[in-house]
Amino acid sequence: MVTTRIRVSTVVAALVLSAVNACSKSGPAAPSVPAAPVTVAVTSPNAVVLFGKTETVTAVASDGRPPTGTWSSSDGSVATVTLGASTTIVTPAGAGQVTITFTASGGATSAKSLRMLPDLSGYLAGCSRVESCVSRSSGSFGTACPPSDPGTRKYDFNLTQSDAAVTGLAHFQGWPYQVSGSIGLDGTLALSGTVTQNTGTTFRADTTWQLIAQRPGTLGGTIESTSTETSVNDPRSSRATTIKTSIQSFGRAVVVCNPFDL
């Protein structure tokens, strides 16, 4: 009787173990989920970079780890980049729009568009050369283009700039003008202003400035001013003058271009 019980127990245990093994092997294994591909995004605090400034551009990976890779600029004449792992320093080289691209070592890429602009804020002054002067007068008024003309004219600005928008005060031939304009993609800026005076003469001057600042440390362009004067007491005395000049120099300090500027 003892031997029979042992054999029955052994058989029952084997059957239970076989059932457990069969259950554990029933049904397919769960498929493995592939890891999501790592992507990168390029960010920077500003979309506009002024001449004389720099911009830090950063690449961020979707897995939270600092990515490694290379940086490139779509136009080296507009902006340059430094070598870096996940950050680069962008430096303006000229006016225009440029695309800064990061290529991760794993192949992912991301880019950001930045605009490079001249910084025309604050005080600017310089000398301009007279290219032409035409004056027609009558009555007691003489010409505004005498043979002894010194051939240069001073100009200056005191400007406020917000990205491409510019406003402020300009002086030309001693007259103050309220001016405003917007800097173009190529670094050009058109400003215009009008002054009037009615003390002894009825005077009006319309002046336009076509400024060009395509590279850091440069400013060129032209100034054209047309003025009309009529004597209040003698309407037969009048004068109309158009003067055109080209900018020869500029700086941030007060300048003297001819003896009349003193």
Query: pLDDT tens-digit profile of 79-121?
Result: 999 988 899 999 999 999 999 999 999 899 999 999 999 999 9
Q: What is the bridge-based pairing of β-strands 165-172 and 175-182?
A: antiparallel
Bigger pLDDT: 71 vs 149: 71
Q: What residues have CB less than 8 Å from 173, skipping those under 6 apart?
A: 153, 205, 225, 243
In contact, 125 and 155? CB cutoff 8 Å: yes
Two tokens, residue 50:
């002024």
Query: pLDDT tens-digit profile of 214-229?
Result: 999 999 999 999 999 9
Q: Tell me the domain boundaries of the chain.
A: 40-117, 122-261
pLDDT of 25 strictly over 60: no
Tell me the fold of 40-117. Immunoglobulin-like (2.60.40)
Nearest partner of 229 among 204, 250, 249, judged by Cα: 204
pLDDT of 20 strictly over 50: no
